[in-house]
Structure 1
Amino acid sequence: MLDIDGEVKTLVEKIKELGAPDQADHGRIKVKYGILFRETSDLFEALAGTMRAAKRKKLVTFDGELLLQGVHDNVDVVLLEAC
């Protein structure tokens, strides 16, 4: 059984660890999807699903509905201030 809340919490921690504050975006922590994917590929059964769950909870934001490795490697994943 998947623990979505646990996976979302782990995702948030990984974004904090891998990302960096962007002063142009009010200091929000950002990380490129490609980096996040490479560094977490062994942690998540389905990173795309975890990302969508985190976005629905308004913990992260990114352009589009679904991010795919390769195609979206340069898309910023932004940790929202509520985290």
Structure 2
Amino acid sequence: MNVEHEVQLLKEEIKRLGTQAEDGHPEVTFGVLFNDEKCANLFEALVGTLRAAKRKKIVTYEGELLLQGVHDNVKIKLLQVDD
């Protein structure tokens, strides 16, 4: 799958599932994103898409690798809202 396309879908899902942080950027926890049925069907490799988006400075979160269960409460913040 095209990484650019997956990152665009990720942005849309963070907006859909997330809440607005104090700085105005949408954010969602990894657990909410990972456990969402629509996201499960959209992303073959959610963690890989998140890492690609983080490298491009589209999202930010603590750590490098997010694992279900262990990192469910890690907040993922969308830095690039409009494109």
Instruction: Please report the TM-score for the alignment, with normalisation by the length of structure 2.
Output: 0.90
Deviation for aligned residue 1:49: 0.4
Does structure 1 residue 67 correspond to structure 2 residue 73?
Answer: no
Q: How many residues align?
A: 79
CA shift digits 1:31-52 (9 cap, x unpaired): 0100001111121111010000
Quick one: which of 30, 38, 43 aligns to 2:27?
A: 30
CA-based RMSD of the aligned residues comes to: 0.8
Could you list the structure 1 runs, at least 4 aligned residues long, displaced by more than 6 angstroms after superposition.
none
Q: Give the equivalent residue in structure 2 for 1:52.
A: 51
Identity of aligned residues (%): 54
Give the unaligned 5+ runs of structure 1. none
One-letter code of the match for 2:70? V
Cα distance between partner residues in 2 of 1:4 and 1:14:
15
Cα distance between partner residues in 2 of 1:4 and 1:22:
26
